[in-house]
Amino acid sequence: MSIDARNHDDAEEMGGGSDGDDDSKTRIQRWAGDWMRNPQKAYAVMGVFMGGVLLTTSLFPLYWLFAVAMAPPGQTNIPLIPTEIDLAAFIDVFVQIPFARFMFNSLFYAFSVTAFVLLIGSFAGYAFGRLNFRGKTPLLFSLLVLSFFPPATLFLPLFRAFNQQTPMLGIFMLPAEIYATPGAVVAPLSAFTMPLAIFILTTFYGQIPDGLEDAARVEGTTRIGALFRVIMPLSAPGIATAGILTFITVYTEFFFSFLMTGDSAAEWAPVVNGVLAFQTQYTTRYDLQAAASLIAIVPVAILVVFAQEKIISGLTQGALKE
């Protein structure tokens, strides 16, 4: 082939490549122009893309736990798609250890702390939201500071106090040792979750019109009676939000519930100890750990699914000042 022919072929190839590039640029320009004329279409595409990313990153860990639970014991090379569906691991979790008792312990902590925080937080929220007294702003600021205080820094003094090794505040000692009891977990977690509940309830209680409470007071109701009969029923979304957030925080808490209790279910160990119980010095049952983790998620998943509207409405209503 002559040099002129080769040059002619190369020129044709370069021309064909440039035509392809022009077509792709023209296609992109058409998309860009269409999205600029119709911004809603661009927002929809970006929303679908971001939603897919969020669903993938949030649901894939759960799917991977299920895939690990379906794997045979001792298998380390876990396939992305399980070769067979065998739910025996979910049954063995309750057979080999008292996993139901571990879950009961964590649920007991969550319900106890939630009830105590809502009760005390309601009185504090009523005082901050509906009463005027000296030192109100500094007290609210102090609660804000306490909410950012690292809980880990209080572990050593609380541990010594709960074991009757040192007086509380240097003044008195506890009447009994409460380490490895529910009180060793409920007391500190109630203190750590109280500020958020007080802030939420203060916002809601402060939005209730004074006339409704005054009408109840005219009928002979005390302030406490007006709180339980008028203020709290009208602030149901806020109470539900504070309660749900407190419940989830306590149920999923690891630090204090793990260190302030023993290792066995009879010593009020939380559900995390139940998951770790399948790991011994020589063997680790990853399939049972994955199954136990999925079972432990069920109470929180049910609560979030049925109460997500309350959480959203409570947070949005609390942000509006009427």
Shared domain for 100 and 178, answered yes or no, is yes
What is the C-alpha to C-alpha distance for residues 248 and 25, in angstroms, rounded to an integer?
Answer: 51
Q: How many CB atoms lie within 10 A of CB 219?
A: 10
Query: Scanning the structure block, which residue is given the tokens 């999923």?
Result: 252
Q: What is the pLDDT of residues 107-162, one digit of tens each?
A: 999 999 999 999 999 999 999 988 888 888 888 888 888 888 888 888 888 888 88
The residues, any chain, with a CB within 8 Å of residue 303's CB and separated by 6 or more, are 244, 247, 248
Q: What's 142's domain CATH number?
A: 1.10.3720.10
Shared domain for 63 and 22, answered yes or no, is yes
pLDDT computed for residue 55 by the predictor: 82
Shared domain for 127 and 236, answered yes or no, is yes
Number of separate domains in the chain? 2
Domain boundary among 70, 97, 127: 70
Pick from 197, 194, 206, 191: nearest CA to 127: 206
User: Is residue 190 situated within a structural domain?
Assistant: yes
Question: What pTM does this model have?
Answer: 0.79
Pick from 288, 296, 299, 295: nearest CA to 88: 288
Shared domain for 63 and 140, answered yes or no, is no
Q: For residue 92, how far is the Cα from the chain centroid? A: 28
What are the two backbone dihedrals, phi and then psi, of residue 239, each rounded to the nearest 5 degrees? -65, -40
Domain residues for the domain of 147 are 88-318
Q: For residue 137, how far is the Cα from the chain centroid? A: 29
Beta bridge partners of 172: 168
Q: What is the pLDDT along the chain (322 residues), one digit of tens a residue?
A: 444 444 445 544 444 445 555 555 677 777 777 777 777 777 787 888 888 888 888 888 888 999 999 988 877 788 888 888 888 889 999 999 999 999 999 999 999 999 999 999 999 999 998 888 888 888 888 888 888 888 888 888 888 888 876 676 667 677 677 888 888 899 999 999 999 999 999 988 988 888 888 888 888 888 888 888 889 888 888 898 899 999 999 998 888 888 888 888 888 889 999 999 888 888 888 889 999 999 999 998 888 888 777 666 666 655 544 4
Q: What is the pLDDT of residues 16-32, one digit of tens each?
A: 445 555 555 677 777 77
Shared domain for 127 and 175, answered yes or no, is yes
What is the C-alpha to C-alpha distance for residues 50 and 54, in angstroms, rounded to an integer?
Answer: 6
What are the two backbone dihedrals, phi and then psi, of residue 284, each rounded to the nearest 5 degrees? -140, 120
pLDDT computed for residue 116 by the predictor: 95
User: Is residue 82 situated within a structural domain?
Assistant: no
309-315 own/partner pairs: CB under 8 Å, 24+ apart? 310/237, 310/240, 310/241, 310/244, 311/240, 311/241, 311/244, 311/245, 313/237, 314/200, 314/204, 314/237, 314/238, 314/240, 314/241, 314/242, 315/241
Shared domain for 58 and 98, answered yes or no, is no
106-144 residues labelled b (16+ CB within 10 A) or e (exposed): bbebbebbbebbbeebbebbbbbbbeeeeeeeeebeebe
